[in-house]
Structure 1
Amino acid sequence: MDTVVLTEQLPKLLFAEDGGGLVQQELSFMVLLFIAAMVAIVVRRIRLPYTVALVLVGLVLSFFPNFLGFTVSSDLILAILVPPLIFEATLHIPWRKLKRDLLPVLLLAVGGTLVGTFLVGGLVVQFLGISWAAALAFGALISATDPVAVIAFFRTLGVNKRLTILVEGESLFNDGVAIVIFNLALAAGTLSGSFGLGEALQEFFIVAFGGLAVGLVMGYVVSYIILKNVDDHLIETATTVALAFGSFVVAESFGQFIGVDELHFSGILAVVAAGLMVGNIGLENTSPTTKLTLDNFWEFLSFVVNSLVFLLIGLEIELAQLQPNIIPILVAVMAIILSRGLIIYVFSWIYGRFQPRNRIPLNFQHVMYWGGLRGAISLALALSIENAVFGSDVALELRVMTFGVVLFTLLVQGMTIEKLISRLKLADKPPQRVELQRRQATLFAKWAGKHELDRLRENGILFKDIWDSMGQVYDEEILDKKEDLRTHLQDFPELEQEMYLQAREDALNAERSAIGEAARRGLISNEVHDELIIELNNRVAALELIKKNRGLDVENKEVHHG
């Protein structure tokens, strides 16, 4: 894909050639948003994933070609819709948990995408007889699991936290590899292009690490300069929006800033790095009001953009083209199923041999295999293939194959993965833990009611006799709820250990925040700050080791009983 320059592309995306383009685009946006809201209301009453329902509605709307009056372009998806979704997702990925599984994530993201590209490409060449360049281009664009689709599905299912990190982490990082190979395959398809291994590796490292560097630098600036020093939730929220889009633009257009037009970095990896920086560092420097505003804003924006993405996927897929190309589509579907299975199970086995204490459980591997969904990223790359590169017939065949694979993964895999997760008991919570949460919530509610009574009494709003009678009732209820909670923990002592570990982690995080606040106020020197943080990190590491060993024991019990 060529470097995306929004100064040139953005007007084309927002305005049509005629004078009424802005009004038409605004009307189309409002219609899509209204449809998304109606779909969200309907899926509450039926057991159908929201994203699947959006795709189905988009497929129905595709039978009315002039319904919205605009066409879906690769730039619209990659430059406008994908950055906010990826940024919002990375805001909620804790670095300490990602760091634990960073090696398998990178192994699958880099090695898995490379292997998948050549496996899919080889099968396509063998059965369809197209050129190696075209086959590798298809293998690259279809091998990377789509973060938009994966994150949307896993958010709604509420799966195990570590499994979520593994799947989302892979899908967020593997796009840089896929896009580099895709661009090299396009270059090999031209008369002047060549496909050299050395050149390919060099470009991969430049594009991938350059994108990560851009995102880290811009995320650092926003986290330590804006979010730390500006106490205004509106300005801080606007800054994060600028960062989400700006990191993508700066990375993709980096060469133009330094006078080297051919140089560009991975915009998607830049957004990933910027989001991780803000989510793990920037949010610690903000006020509670800003955190709440950021959470609410990005949750809303994610819902809007996510709805548009899946509606547009359904709109862009032309069902009339699928039937004449059913053989290539079946070959493509079988190729991605076989390659995905080989990648997940073999790479997980290799990782488990070197890291046996942090191995990936087999039931996790099953979900990672079947949860390798394709969506907006694959569609955008397929739409960017020009007819002049491989010829109009091959370009059309690659696009239709992509449509078929995306449709298969979203509808077939997307509609069955919930049953798989349920059967593997990865989203089920033990009844005793649910009961613990219920008793804790009831106790917290009673405490909150008592504190509110005390506040009303202190402010002179509540008379003493009323406060005495109501307070006595609350005190008795609080004692009863405490006794219920204590009895439950005695019946299930493992829950008491979990509560202790979680409380200890919360306390250590509070100590870390207090040390940072003391340094910001000038109460302690940088040397004292660093010394205390190192000591605190050692205690956190010891706690993480206890939690990890306990988690492994639980996983081993589940595997044994399973």
Structure 2
Amino acid sequence: MEAEFQIFVILLAVLAGTALVARRTNIAPAILLLLAGTVLAFVPGMPSLELPPELVLLVVLPPLIYSASVAMSWREFRYNLRPIILLSVGCVIFTAFAVAAATHYLIGLPWSIGFLLGAIVSPPDVVAPLAIARKLGLPRRILVVLEGEGLANDATALILYRFAVIAISTGTFSLTKATGTFLVIVIGEVLFGAAVGWISLRARHRARDPQIEITLSLITPYVAYWVPEHLGGSGVISTVACGLYMSWNGPLWISSATRLQGIFFWDLVIYLIEGMLFLLTGFQMRSLFERSKAFPLDDILTATALVAVMIIIARFAWVFPATYLPRLISSVRERDPPPPWQWTFIVAFTGVRGAVSLAAALALPFALPDGESFPYRDLILFVSFGVIFITLVGLGLGLPPVVRWLGVAQAGRAEHLAEHEQEIAARREALGSALKSLEAITDDRELSDEVVKLLRARHEVRVNQLPDSLDPDAREVSAMGMELTRELIAAERKFIHVLLRDGKITDEVRRRIERDLDLEEASLANRDLRRLPL
């Protein structure tokens, strides 16, 4: 037990150190964590760490999917539903068949094994590519499509995966039955996920306690995922539906105290889960290397290279027609004009595979019902890890120069500036609405002049904090004002500490004052215009 805890502490230290290196080198943390885990796996004396598939599929995946779904805009998800479905369902199925055909005709794998391998490596990851893409300042629609695809494609892949395993185990497969089952799973999980979200919101609203509400929020994704998964579904669609329901309806039901504490809690949980997941994925290289000795090295490398090339080619072969062919219909073209080919290229290029593919490979049974060993199990494991490694490192490192070469970030910067202009306008309109409410309240109620004066002063302070525009001079003035405000907050903190040290206030008083200062400083960070793209 002590040794396991020591390994856990070492992994936390590596996670923190890798994050610092990633910030200095501007390389995606997921890439460095995978490389760090691979290196650590071969350190002499380091015990072998197996990544239990049930840990990923039943414990890690639900909160990751739920958190991403809550952060997703339901309106944007619905608007981009066509490309999201074409990618998360159509591209996954197309890639699975492409891998099956390539491995069957070029290296002689049975059709069933090739399709199983294709189902495992077909879904792109949602974590790593988005972490890279957000840093590059890509247009919002590209991010929404990639995120929506990453949320839903795991469900398609896991359902195909189960069909393939059953077909290999029993030797039979019915396309009609599989299609009907797929539709039932999708419809049932959407309804169940929305129901879980509805119940969760009302339970949290009745609790009216941040600690209880955050605990309920942590339970929610597991309820949404485990029940459908136990009944033979994927659980992914249900969790996505639950998260989208919470995203759209939560703001009016969740208190400000819960929201502030919950954002910090979920940010930390997701940061630790994602980091540990990529570290442990790298650790699997050692056990996979030992298992690979049962196959000729040339066969393993050939199969890995072939599958990696096929999934990249298949994605490009699917994304471009799926983007432009529907727009040959005039109604679709008028409602949604075709995007620049550079945007489509970025979506096609961003096909990084992640830990879900490895977990699915690890979850393969060791033996068939008749007692025979599961065919090609170790080869599938090694190829799956190789594809993850090649796409994460290769495509992940290649995405920034590709974005610069295509000039896509320029559209993203213009879009972000327009978005912040809208934000300033929305803040001003909201403050104007609040002022009208204050005037109505003053007319309806007998308020003292002191109270009205205090409320108007608060309103004027908030109005004055908004910049007039986002031109460089205004941004410079706003940035200087925020920096000076931070210095004043720091001076206030030091004075409060002196009062505490001299015994003039209690620790409880100091904590309340510090909380107000922390909230004010966090508000400054939220409005910092220097974060806008130049």
* Fold match (TM-score > 0.5): yes
Change (3 A) 1:360 1:210: farther
* Residues 196, 422 of structure 1: alpha-carbon distance in 2 compared, 3 angstrom cutoff: same
Partner of 1:250: 227
Indicate conservation of the 8 Å contact 1:436/1:488, yes or no: no
Q: TM-score, normalised by structure 2?
A: 0.73
Aligned partner of residue 367 in structure 2, secondary structure: helix
1:89 corresponding residue in structure 2: 68
- Provide the C-alpha distance between the structure 1 equivalents of 2:228 and 2:314, rounded to a whole number of angstroms: 31
Query: Structure 1 residue 93: deviation in Å?
Result: 0.7
With a CA cutoff of 8 Å and minimum separation of 6, indicate the structure with the bigger relative contact order: 2
What is the alpha-carbon distance in structure 2 between the residues aligned to residue 88 and residue 287 of structure 1? 18
Cα distance in structure 1, aligned partners of 2:470 and 2:27: 38
1:229 and 1:131, CA in 2 relative to 1: closer, same or farther beyond 3 A? same
Q: How much does 1:201 deviate?
A: 0.7
What is the aligned-residue RMSD (CA, Å)? Answer: 3.5
**Equivalents in 2 of 1:430, 1:226: separation in Å?**
41
**Which amino acid in structure 1 is aligned with residue 174 of structure 2?**
G
Task: Give the whole-Å Cα distance in 1 for the aligned partners of 2:133 and 2:471.
Answer: 32
Query: C-alpha distance in 2, partners of 1:91/1:308?
Result: 22
> C-alpha distance in 2, partners of 1:388/1:242?
34
Structure 1 stretch displaced more, 315-324 or 334-343: 315-324
Partner residue of 1:289 out of 249, 257, 261: 257
2:333 to 351, 356, 368: 356
Paired position in structure 1 for 2:382: 400
Corresponding position of 1:73? 52
Work out the CA distance in 2 between the residues paired with 1:481 and 1:380: 49
Tell me by how many angstroms 1:68 deviates. Answer: 4.9
The residue number in structure 2 matching 1:142 is 121
Distance in 2 (alpha carbons) for counterparts of 1:137 and 1:87: 26
What is the identity, as a one-letter code, of the residue corresponding to 2:184? I
Q: Show the counterpart of 2:183.
A: 205
Equivalent of 2:245, from 277, 281, 301?
A: 277
Partner of 1:365: 344
CA distance in 2, matches of 1:232, 1:60: 45
CA contact (8 A) 1:212 1:270 kept: yes
- What residue identity is the alignment partner of 1:253? H
Aligned equivalent of 1:420, options 390, 393, 402: 402
CA pair 238-158 structure 1, distance change in 2 beyond 3 A: farther
Deviations 1:7-45 (A, max 9, x none): xxxxxxxxxxxxx4xx55444333212210111112222
Distance 1:195 1:304 in 2: 40
Report the Cα offset of residue 295 of structure 1.
1.5
* Cα deviation 1:40-64 (Å, max 9, x = unaligned): 1122221321111101101101213
Shift, 1:138, TM fit: 0.6
Structure 2 CA distance for aligned equivalents of residues 434 and 332 of structure 1: 41
2-side partners of 1:35 and 1:268: how far apart? 30
CA 1:25–1:207 in structure 2 vs 1: closer, same or farther (change >3 Å)? farther
The CA deviation at 1:115 is: 1.5
Distance, in Å, in 1 between the alignment partners of 2:129 and 2:415 is 30
- Tell whether the 8 Å contact from 2:68 to 2:151 is kept in structure 1 after alignment: no
Mapped to 2, the partners of 1:135 and 1:479 lie a distance apart of 60
Q: What do residues 259-313 of structure 1 show as CA deviations (whole Å, max 9, x unaligned)?
A: xxxxx22212221111111122123311222222221111111111010111111
Kept in 2, the 8 Å contact 1:150–1:171? The answer is no
Deviation at 1:208, TM superposition (A): 2.8
Distance 1:217 1:329 in 2: 42
Are the counterparts in 2 of residues 28 and 69 from structure 1 also a CA contact under 8 Å? no
Could you tell me which residue of structure 2 aligns to residue 503 of structure 1? Answer: none
Letter of the 2:382 counterpart: V
Tell me which residue corresponds to 1:114: 93
In the alignment, structure 1 residue 194 sits paired with structure 2 residue 165: no
Unaligned ranges ≥5, structure 2: 428-449, 452-459, 476-534
What are the Cα deviations for residues 365-392 of structure 1, in whole angstroms up to 9, with x where unaligned?
1111111111111111111123424846
Higher mean Cα deviation, 87-96 or 391-400?
391-400
In 2, Cα distance between equivalents of 1:276 and 1:67: 42
Output one character per residue of 1:433-490: Cα deviation in whole Å (capped at 9) or x when no partner.
769969x99xx9xxxxxxxxxxxxx89xxxxxxxxxxxxxx99xx799759969989x
Unaligned segments of structure 1, at least 5 residues: 1-19, 255-263, 445-457, 460-473, 490-562
SS at match of 1:130: coil
**1:176 and 1:432 mapped to 2: Cα distance?**
32
Where 2:43 maps in the other structure, the secondary structure is: coil
| TM-score normalized by the length of structure 1 | 0.70
Tell me which of 16, 36, 42 is aligned to 1:63.
42
- In structure 1, what is the Cα distance between the partners aligned to 2:418 and 2:224? 45
Aligned to 1:332: 307
